[in-house]
Amino acid sequence: MPTVSRTARGAIVEVRGLTKRFGSVTAVDDLSFTVEPGRVTGFLGPNGAGKTTTLRILLDLASATSGSCSIGGRRYRDIPEPAHQVGAVLEATNFHPSRRARAHLEMLAIESGIELSRIDPVLELVGLTADANRKVGGYSLGMRQRLQLAGALLGDPGVLILDEPSNGLDPQGIAWMRDLLRHLAAEGRTVLISSHLLAEMAQTVDDVVIVSRGRLRVQGPLSLLTSQSHSSMRVRTPERDRLAAIAHAAGYAHRPEGEDILFVDGATPETLGPLIASNRVVVYELVQVSQDLESLFLELTTSMTARRAPAAVAAP
């Protein structure tokens, strides 16, 4: 991975009590979270959760009904030479189709006061050197995403804000972007990346901010979320009713399935095994079933109660 940075330093991104209403619809509802430098933070939630609206307010493209956002302690509009501090990828449609890719970057460089000598390195970084003189109208969605990313990196910013950047990318493209974002965060930059797919982001992000219906559900390190994903034990036994009573007495929730299967939620082989042995229950099969990250994500985004991971504050 080529070095992107020369002087980039990440900055803290803060969203405080942010609310945005469109008429009677509340798109963002009293949302607060913090994004730390040197880490990739996934801003996750289903479609319509308020992610794009939040990012647009953060970048001063939209106004907040109440609350505030800051990058490095300043509002976006108050940042001098913002393209040198913040790079953003919002959607792959921000191009004039008749303009060539190189000209698009040149336009951004002129607007932002960035040296034109930065264009070739960023084109090379995103793998568009060979297509730089083609009109953007002929680009695929994935190529547009790469061009957007090139534009965001043009000013060598310390903060990167990316809205669904993997849209349109093929699996190789997604892997490439994952490596790039990890590399950028390792250089000390702040990377905030939104997505509606937690599973896709699981290998990329260090921290997660999960929103649903405009409200915060969870904020904290991904590792903490993974540890919260509870497992259950699937037991095949001819004494299902007796095992159910034993599990109930031990404080486990349980549910039957089929003729002889019992799921014991929250149990592990280490906790359920001794219980079965001490009660001399006949068991044909004992399997641990872990809840996958995606179903946990679904559970979190449909839950109405916000949770804040305690370790979030102490996140490195």
Partner 1 sequence: MTFSPRLVRAELFKFRTTPGAWVCIGVVLLLTGLGITTSFINGSNGVVHFSAPTTVVGLRRLMGAGYTAAIVMAPVLGVLSITTEYRHRVLTSTLLAHPRRADVLGAKVLASALWALFMGVASFVMIGAMGIPLLLTEGGSVSALLHQVGPVLPGMLAAYVLLAVYGMGIGTLVRNQIAGVIIALGLTLVLEPIIVAIFSSLAHMDVNFLPTRATEAIAGGVAARGPGGAGAATTAHVLLSWWLGAIALVIWGIGTAVIGYFTTFRRDVT
Orientation angle between helical segments 269-278 and 240-249, nearest 10 degrees: 110
Give, as ranges, the residues between 33 and 62 that touch partner 1 (CB under 8 A): 56, 59-62
Interaction of residue 103 with partner 1, rule CB under 8 A: yes
CA 301 – CA 60 distance, rounded (Å): 27
Please give the helix or strand (H or E) that residue 236 lies within, else none.
strand 231-236
**Least distance in angstroms from the C-beta of 27 to partner 1:** 11
DSSP 8-state symbol, 115: -
Least Å distance, CB 164 to partner 1, is 14
CA separation for the pair 222, 226 (Å, rounded)? 6
Q: DSSP 3-state assignment of 95?
A: coil
CA neighbours within 13 Å on the CB side: how many for 285?
9
- Residue 98 near partner 1 by CB under 8 A: yes
Q: How many other C-beta atoms can be found within 10 angstroms of the C-beta atom of residue 137?
A: 12
Span interacting with partner 1, options 34-42, 82-90, 220-228, 288-296, rule CB under 8 A:
82-90
Number of residues that bind partner 1 (CB under 8 A): 31
Supply the minimum distance, in Å, between the C-beta of residue 59 and partner 1: 6
Which region, judged by CB under 8 A, interacts with partner 1, from 43-51, 110-118, 225-233, 285-293? 110-118
Q: What's the min distance (Å) between Cβ of 18 and partner 1?
A: 14
E-assigned strand segments in 122-189: 159-163
Among residues 45, 151, 165, 214, which is the contact residue for partner 1, using CB under 8 A? 151
Interface with partner 1, residue 25, by CB under 8 A: no
Would you say 184 or 296 has its CB closer to partner 1? Answer: 184
Cβ atoms within 10 A of the Cβ of 19, count? 17
CA angle 5, 166, 119 (to 5 degrees): 35
Shortest Å distance, C-beta 77 to partner 1: 4
| Cβ burial 66-103 (10 Å sphere, 16+ → b, else e) | ebebbbbeeebeebeebbbbbbbbbebeebeeeebbbb
CB of 83 to partner 1, least distance (A): 5
Binder among 7, 47, 93, 305 for partner 1 (CB under 8 A): 93
Q: Which of 17, 66, 73, 107 binds partner 1 (CB under 8 A)?
A: 107
Tell which one of 28, 31, 49, 83 touches partner 1 (CB under 8 A): 83
Q: Contact, 268 vs 232, CB < 8 A?
A: no
Q: Site residues (CB under 8 A) for partner 1?
A: 56, 59-63, 76-77, 82-83, 86, 88, 90-91, 93-100, 103, 106-108, 110-113, 151
